[in-house]
Amino acid sequence: MADATREDQASGRDTGMPLVHAVNVMKSFDGNKVLKGIDLDVRKGQVVCLLGPSGSGKTTLLRCINQLETIDGGRIWVDGDLMGYQDRAGRLHHLTGKAIAAQRREIGMVFQRFNLFPHKTTLENIMEAPIQVKGEKRAQARERAIALLERVGLEDKPSAYPAQLSGGQQQRVAIARALAMQPKLMLFDEPTSALDPELVGEVLAVMRELARDGMTMIVVTHEMSFAREVADHVVFMDDGVVVEHGDPASVINNPQHARTRSFLRRMQSEPQAVEHIPESLQDAIAAEKHHDLKEDE
Partner 1 sequence: MMLSSFITNKRWDWGFALQVMNQTPVLEGLWKGTIIGTVGAMIIGVSLGIVIAIMRLSENPVLKWVAFAYTWFFRAIPRYVLLAILGSGVGYLYSTLDVGVPFGQQLASALGLSSNLTFLTLNVNALSNSIIAGIVGLGLSEAAYMAEIARAGILSVDKGQAEAAQALGMSSGKTMRRIVLPQAMRVIVPPTGNEAIAMVKDTSLLIAIPIIAELFYQTSAIGVRTLKIMPGFVAATLWYLIICSILMVGQYYLERHFGRGFGQKKPKDRRFARGAGMGGA
Question: Does 265 interact with partner 1 (rule: CB under 8 A)?
Answer: no
From candidates 5, 12, 33, 68, binder to partner 1 by CB under 8 A: 68
From candidates 40, 71, 78, 107, binder to partner 1 by CB under 8 A: 107
Stretch that binds partner 1, among 75-83, 99-107, 217-225, 272-280 (CB under 8 A): 99-107
Going by the DSSP 8-state scheme, the letter that residue 220 receives in this structure is E
Question: Does 275 interact with partner 1 (rule: CB under 8 A)?
Answer: no
Question: Does 160 interact with partner 1 (rule: CB under 8 A)?
Answer: yes
Question: Does 97 interact with partner 1 (rule: CB under 8 A)?
Answer: yes
Site string for partner 1, 165-184 (x = CB under 8 A): xx-------x--xx--x---
> Whole-angstrom Cα distance, residue 67 to residue 30?
18
Question: Does 151 interact with partner 1 (rule: CB under 8 A)?
Answer: no
Instruction: For strands 85-88 and 91-94, give the pairing.
Output: antiparallel
Question: Does 133 interact with partner 1 (rule: CB under 8 A)?
Answer: yes
> Whole-angstrom Cα distance, residue 229 to residue 101?
34
233-247 burial code (b ≥16 CB/10 A, e <16) = bbbbbbebbbbbbee
From candidates 21, 27, 44, 157, binder to partner 1 by CB under 8 A: 157
3-state secondary structure 84-139: CEEEECCEEEECCHHHHHHHHCCEEEECCCCCCCCCCCHHHHHHHHHHHCCCCCHH
Q: Of 134, 271, 32, whose CA–CA distance to 126 is shortest?
A: 134
> Whole-angstrom Cα distance, residue 271 to residue 248?
20
64: phi then psi, degrees, rounded to nearest 5: -70, -35
User: Which amino acid belongs to residue 39?
Assistant: D
Question: Does 105 interact with partner 1 (rule: CB under 8 A)?
Answer: yes
116 close to 173: Cβ distance less than 8 angstroms: yes
From candidates 93, 94, 113, 290, binder to partner 1 by CB under 8 A: 113
Number of residues that bind partner 1 (CB under 8 A): 47
Task: Spell out the alpha helix ranges (H) of 157-246.
Answer: 167-179, 197-212, 224-230
User: Which amino acid belongs to residue 120?
Assistant: K
Stretch that binds partner 1, among 14-22, 28-36, 49-57, 97-105 (CB under 8 A): 97-105
Question: Does 101 interact with partner 1 (rule: CB under 8 A)?
Answer: yes
Question: Does 111 interact with partner 1 (rule: CB under 8 A)?
Answer: yes
Stretch that binds partner 1, among 105-113, 228-236, 239-247, 255-263 (CB under 8 A): 105-113
Q: At its nearest, how many Å lie between partner 1 and the CB of residue 117? A: 6
Output 25 or 152, the one with its CB closest to partner 1. 152
Can you give the binding site for partner 1, defined by CB under 8 A?
Answer: 66, 68, 97-98, 101-102, 104-109, 111, 113, 115-121, 128-129, 132-133, 153, 155-157, 159-166, 174, 177-178, 181, 282, 285, 288-289, 292, 295
